[in-house]
Structure 1
Amino acid sequence: MTEPILDVSDMEVSRGREGESYAVALSACRLNAGDVAAIVGPSGCGKSTLLEALGLILEPKSVTHHRLGAVDLTGDLHLSASERETRWARLRQHYLGFVPQSGGLLPFLNVKQNIELPRKLVGLQGRDSFLEQVIERLRLEPLLGRMPAQLSIGERQRVSFVRSIAHRPGLLLADEPTAALDPILAKELFTLIVEIAREFSIGALIVTHEWSLVEDVGIRQIVGTVSAQRRTVFNERL
């Protein structure tokens, strides 16, 4: 039986100083290859905090079970900080893809160089047939020689998405990828992210406030509910 792309239960993250901290809890999340889910909830409830914890950027306070594919991370909180960061940095590089809200393109690299950068970091060269297909689907070929400053907001977000999956990661994490786009462009990009993740068997978690887009494309919802003072619990909507 194939391992799930992501399998987490009872994860809790605490952010902020003691006495002013905010807790975010995830009851359970299991994604197989090609599964797509949206992390939704009220503004400020901790959606991005949860994504950072799942993306091995933010250390959880506790977790009962945590696996990325065949890699068991459940006991990593017992490692030293340096050991954990070395291990997590390697996993982020090889296994995860990120689409930040701002796009995050490096301004001194052109589109082609930005897209190919994550491939070079994991020892892959140039472009392969998978990347060629994705570039064509998102109509980026005419933009490959341009610098990020020469792109529209919509173009930058499309490039950021392609860069995030250029090395064909197991899991894509997107933080409000359509927030800066008008409704038509937002729907187009959101739909493309879902279609490509499913087509190429990439698990994906998308933080979004666009409830209508989530409903339109019919993906799973992991909903945050503020259950007590300064605490949000995320559960999958059945």
Structure 2
Amino acid sequence: MLDIKGLLVVRGQGPHAHRVRLDALTLRQGEICAITGESGCGKSTLLEAIGLLLAPQSLDHYHLGPQALDVGQLLAEDRQPELAAVRSQQLGFVLQNGGLLPFLTVRDNIQLPRRMLGLSRHSQAVDKAVEALRLGPLLDKLPQALSIGERQRVACVRAIAHEPRVLLADEPTAALDPNNARRLFELLLNLVGELGLSALVVSHDWPLIEQFGLPRLGAVNGEGETRFEPLA
């Protein structure tokens, strides 16, 4: 579903530049992998590069989906309209703060990605996600009426509403207490498995990652550089 090799991203310039490297990553359908490391090491930078929000300095290859779409070629040729289509259609994002629109109900927040892509309102994937994350009673409420945990659950459903190939979540449990963080993580894992997605989750909560036994890409810090490598 996702196959990346030789990814390098550079943030900053000159003596303040910081390089973020990913030698290899392969994610199969239904697989979820955690990206871990200390604060400021480049976890979010790596996720943004994989999510096509940052252009890499160099890249060997990037293939996405069952047909192995050559995203690396699109990046090399700077084909921005096609890259934007990949972002909006095949990738789903969960932000730390949820990012819900306050003037839309939960139902309309969830439906927004489908409306923007001209998709039909009904989606079996969305129905499954709403059920898996127990959001049925909240659909007609505004975000301000929800708890932080509830908003994050809504953000997870909105991220998959357009039925992407890969879900990218940046610290989805950062604002939650340990019990709610564990509950959201469990629900997120169930959602990925139920819908057959692939997922990358940035997290600094190592005990939570270990509790669920997820494979990890861990940060190895060096002089002006962080390399992300698979950890046992």
How large is the RMSD of aligned CA atoms in angstroms? 1.2
Q: Within the alignment, does 1:25 sit opposite 2:38 as a pair?
A: no
Which residue of structure 1 lines up, in the alignment, with residue 103 of structure 2? 108
Normalising by structure 1, report the TM-score. 0.93
Aligned letter for 1:42? E
CA drift at 1:218: 1.1
Q: 1:148 aligns with which of 108, 128, 143?
A: 143
Q: Within the alignment, does 1:41 sit opposite 2:37 as a pair?
A: yes
Which residue of structure 2 lines up, in the alignment, with residue 232 of structure 1? 226
Mapped contact 1:93–1:121 kept (Cα < 8 A): no
SS in 1 for 2:218: strand
Q: Within the alignment, does 1:203 sit opposite 2:201 as a pair?
A: no
Paired residues for 1:70-219 under 5 Å: 70-80=68-78, 84-219=79-214
Aligned letter for 1:28? A
Q: Residue by residue, what CA displacement relative to the aligned partner does 1:170-218 show, whole Å, maximum 9, x if unpaired?
A: 0000000000001000000011111211222100000001111111111
CA drift at 1:33: 0.7
| Equivalent-residue separation in structure 2 for 1:139 and 1:66 (angstroms) | 35
Q: Residue by residue, what CA displacement relative to the aligned partner does 1:23-46 show, whole Å, maximum 9, x if unpaired?
A: 100010000110100000111110
| Equivalent-residue separation in structure 2 for 1:75 and 1:116 (angstroms) | 31
Q: Residue by residue, what CA displacement relative to the aligned partner does 1:87-136 show, whole Å, maximum 9, x if unpaired?
A: 11100111000000010111221111100111122222223222112112
Q: Residue by residue, what CA displacement relative to the aligned partner does 1:51-81 show, whole Å, maximum 9, x if unpaired?
A: 000000000000111111221022234324x
| Equivalent-residue separation in structure 1 for 2:180 and 2:122 (angstroms) | 26
Give % identity: 47
Which residue of structure 1 lines up, in the alignment, with residue 52 of structure 2? 56
Task: Identify the range of structure 1 (120-129 vs 89-98) with the bigger mean alpha-carbon deviation.
Answer: 120-129
SS in 1 for 2:25: strand
Structure 1: runs of 5 or more not aligned: none
SS in 1 for 2:6: strand
| Equivalent-residue separation in structure 1 for 2:191 and 2:138 (angstroms) | 20
Normalising by structure 2, report the TM-score. 0.95
